[in-house]
Structures are given as C-alpha cells and as structure tokens.
Structure 1
Amino acid sequence: MTLANQSLGQLARDLPGATAVFHKYKLDFCCGGSRSLGDAAARKGLDTTAIEAELQALQPQSANQQQLAALGNKELIEHILTRYHDVHREQLPELIRLSQRVERVHGDHPMCPSGLSAHLERMQEELELHMQKEEQILFPMIARGVGGMALAPVQVMRHEHDDHGAALDQLLNLAHGLSLPDGACNTWQALYRGLETLKQDLMEHIHLENNVLFQRVDGQLGGANHG
C-alpha cells in the first residue's frame, strides 16, 4: 500500500515525525484521521507526491509515537491524563487572560481577534466536561478491560472530538490564522504562541485517543484487553 492510500491517523501513529509534516501542511490527522493522505491532500489542492517524499525521508528513530502505541492501556491512559488533560487545564485559563487583555487594549485594530476570549471560555467549559467523562466513566472501563461496554461511550467521545476540532477551526479563524500584525505587543505574541501550542497539543491528544486507544476498543488493533 502506498503512503497516499494510508489514512492520516495510521501514518501519524506508525511513522515517526509524520505529525510534524501534517502540521506543516495543515492536514487534520486527529478528527480527520480516517481520511487517506491522497484524499486529504487533494481536498486542499496539495501535491501528494511532495508530501509522500517528505514522509519517506523521515529517518527511522526510537519514536515517541511508536513507544506510546506500545504502552498498555493503563499506562497510555496515565500518559494522556498527565500530558494532555492536566496541560489543557493549565493552558486555557492563561490563554483566556491573554486574549481578554489583547481584545481590551487593541479592540480598534483590524487584526484584533475579537470574540476570541469568549470562544476560549466556551472551549474550556466543553473540554472540561469532556475530560471529566473520560476520567470518571470511559477510562476506568478501558483500564478494567471491559471493551465491549466501552464501545458506546467511545462513539460519544469521538463525536465530541469532532466538535473540539470544529472549535479549533473557529479559534484559528477568529485569530486570523495566528498571523500577527506588524509591531504586535508582547502579550499578543505570547497569546498566539500559546494558541499554536494548544492547537498542536489538542490535535495530538485527539489523535492518540481516536487512532490508538479507541481503536483498541474497536478491536482494530487486536488488543481490546491490552495491558
């Protein structure tokens, strides 16, 4: 199977460094992870052959993604909680504070991300509810090995992941694609750096759940009772 025929999620999971290439080309490997590389590139008018060449040039390495995919379910869940759930709870309050300041001070600037702080507050509320459902209901099920009972909650979480992806797109629209105006103040620069980090972290977070942990529950990786 050529790389173009493989799904973005599979490539992100199995090929070290692929996620950096996908970030570069703005290819959605988390919520859109089931789409093939060729299809996703065609939809954006990108050169599939050039992207394949970049992926093929990636050096095999002791890859973080491969190491994570090899973890048992309990260890993978612990990683998700520490690396993503805890981090999102730190990121969003600070991003809200920064965006409120930028909107307050630079509200008359044509590049001001008007409405961003309110949008981030909605994202924080929705993400917190989502993470609580995973922490209190779904993850304990998976850790106990009751994969069959987890199928329905997994589908709900996948749907909510799609909603988070749409919220991320709206965030980028409000922030003008994270393009800073000339002479942007330090607060504005810090805000957009933080938003870029949030974007990458949230995409990696959703990818790890959708394309690794939840696929085990679906039985597609042959390890519903993994770990």
Structure 2
Amino acid sequence: MLLTQPLGQLATRIAGATAVFHQFKLDFCCGGQQSLGEAIAKRGLNQQEVLQALENLQHQKDPAINWHAEPAPKLIDYILVNFHQKHRQQLPELIRLAKRVETVHGDSPDCPHGLAAHLHDMQQELESHMLKEEQILFPMLRQGIYPYGPISVMLEEHQEHGDALKKLDELSFEQQLPLGACNTWTALYLGLKELKEDLMQHILLENEILFVEPTKPGHGEQHCCGSCQ
C-alpha cells in the first residue's frame, strides 16, 4: 500500500513521483524515511488527492494495440495524450531535479554537469516540434493528407531528438548512479530513463506508422531516430 511506503522509496520507484511530492511540498530527500501516510498527516493534506496523483502515474500503456490496423486519428489522439502531454509534464520536473543535483553535488566527479541546460534545450526543441505537429501536420493527417514537406521536416527533427538523447546519456553517465546517491539524484535518473523510453516510442510510432501513407509502397520502412544504434 502506498501510504505505508517511505517517501524516498516512492520517489525512486515511481517515475514522476517527485513532481507530485513537490506539488504537495512533501520532503522526499532529507525526509525520505517517513511514510507517505505520516507525511500527509503532518502537513494536513487531503490523503485521497495525493494518492490519486500517484496512482495516475502508475497507469500502464496498452502494448496489445496494433496501431498498423488503427485509423490515423486514433493514433494521433494517443500520441497527444501519452507523449505530447507527458513530455510537457516530464521536462520541467527533470530540469528542476537536475539543477538541484548540480547545485548540491557540483564538486562530485560523478555530477552531471550541464544536464539541466541540455534538458532545457531539449524542452525548447520538443515544444517547437510538437506545436508544428499539432498546428500543421496532425490536422492534415486527420484528413488523410500526407504532405511530403512537413513530414520530411518532422523526420529530420526526430533525428535531432535522437542525437539529443545520446548527449543526455553522455552527460548523465548513462544514468549510472554513484554510490550513496541521494533520493533527488536517484529520482532524476529514473525520470531520465522514462523520458528516453517515452521519446523513443513516440518517434517510433510516428516514423513507422503515422507518417507512412498506407496506400503507398514503402510502408514499414525503417526510420530510426539514431539513439538505439
């Protein structure tokens, strides 16, 4: 049960939990040994609100959906909720955590120096990319129009996102935690791993399914973002 688990344990096992704790001002770092229930009681918070926020993070994406067999509008809706919306939630919190780690542990040789700045750059690039999809490309795809120019631009930007993930791995030592890493550092690397997985899946669904016109040859050609090579 979530209420009996220590805040530090929840922060390092549920990706995105730190954002919830930050929202409710629950100390998961220095106060990470207290249980969620104890922390909620001390702050006089609404228990159900906190639990609902954490449980929302634990929902599972349905891996059984065959997106090749689904209409483009349904896949677009899925991408908007599970990736566009989620990236906009993930990056601000990851930037905050990275800044905290760099400030507190800047003298450590394992500190991911420059990570916060890189995440900020990724946030700006992704936001621009997603807006172009939402405002230009997705409305056309919903109508069955597959414009070569906009799709080519998106594919090129996907390659750039893949390069950004490679740099993220370099700056964070591939998310390998040093001995004795604090809860904030652990939560940061957990969140980075989730961001990488989500962004790669996001790119895959668009490159291999959404952007490929079903009636034309070449359906299913590989357009790797580069981060898995």
Give the TM-score normalised by the residue count of structure 1: 0.67
Matched-pair contact (CA < 8 Å) for 1:138–1:154: yes
For the Cα contact (< 8 Å) 1:151–1:217, is it kept in 2? no
Counterpart CA distance in 1 for 2:105 and 2:190 is 18
Partner Cα distance (2:183, 2:215) in 1? 46
Which residue number corresponds to residue 90 of structure 1? 89
Q: Which runs of 5+ in 1 are unaligned?
A: 1-62, 223-227
Task: Say if 1:111 and 1:181, in contact at 8 Å, map to a contact too.
Answer: yes
Which gives a bigger RCO, structure 1 or 2 (Cα 8 Å, sep 6+)? 1
Change (3 A) 1:178 1:206: same
User: Are 2:189 and 1:192 equivalent residues in the alignment?
Assistant: yes
Q: CA deviation at 1:211?
A: 0.6
Q: Percent identity?
A: 54
Number of residue equivalences: 158
Cα distance in 2, alignment partners of residues 65 and 79 from structure 1:
14
The one of 156, 160, 165 equivalent to 2:157 is 160
Question: Could you give the per-residue CA deviations for residues 193-221 of structure 1, whole angstroms, max 9, x where no partner exists?
Answer: 00000000000000000011112278333
Determine the C-alpha separation between the residues in 2 that align with 1:166 and 1:127: 13
Paired AA for residue 111 in structure 1:
D
2:73 maps to what in 1? 74
CA–CA separation in structure 1 for the residues paired with 2:219 and 2:155: 17
The whole-number CA distance in structure 2 between the counterparts of 1:109 and 1:65 is 44
Counterpart amino acid of residue 221 in structure 1: H
Aligned to 2:115: 116
Alpha-carbon shift at residue 116 of structure 1 (Å): 0.2
Say whether residues 1:101 and 2:100 are aligned partners: yes
Distance 2:213 2:83 in 1: 19
Q: What is the aligned partner in structure 2 of residue 221 from structure 1?
A: 219
Structure 2 distance, partners of 1:123, 1:180, is 22
Structure 1 stretches of at least 4 aligned residues deviating more than 4 Å after TM superposition: none
Change (3 A) 1:217 1:108: farther
After superposition, give the CA deviation of every residue in 1:74-98 in whole Å (9 maximum; x if it has no partner): 1110001011000000000000000
Does 2:168 correspond to 1:171?
yes
CA RMSD after TM alignment: 1.6
Q: Distance in 2 between matches of 1:67 and 1:162?
A: 25
- Report the alpha carbon displacement of residue 69 of structure 1 after superposing the two structures with TM: 2.3
Q: Which amino acid aligns with 1:68?
A: W
Taking the TM superposition and a 5 Å limit, the aligned residue runs for 1:201-216 are: 201-216=198-213
SS across alignment from 1:122: helix
- TM-score normalised by structure 2 residue count: 0.66
| Structure 2 partner of 1:138 | 137
> For 1:128-178, what per-residue CA distance to the aligned partner results, in whole angstroms no more than 9, with x for missing partners?
00000000000001101122xx11110100000000000000001000111
SS at match of 1:215: coil
Say which one has the larger Rg: 2
Query: Is contact 1:102–1:112 with CA below 8 Å preserved after alignment?
Result: yes
Distance 1:119 1:65 in 2: 34
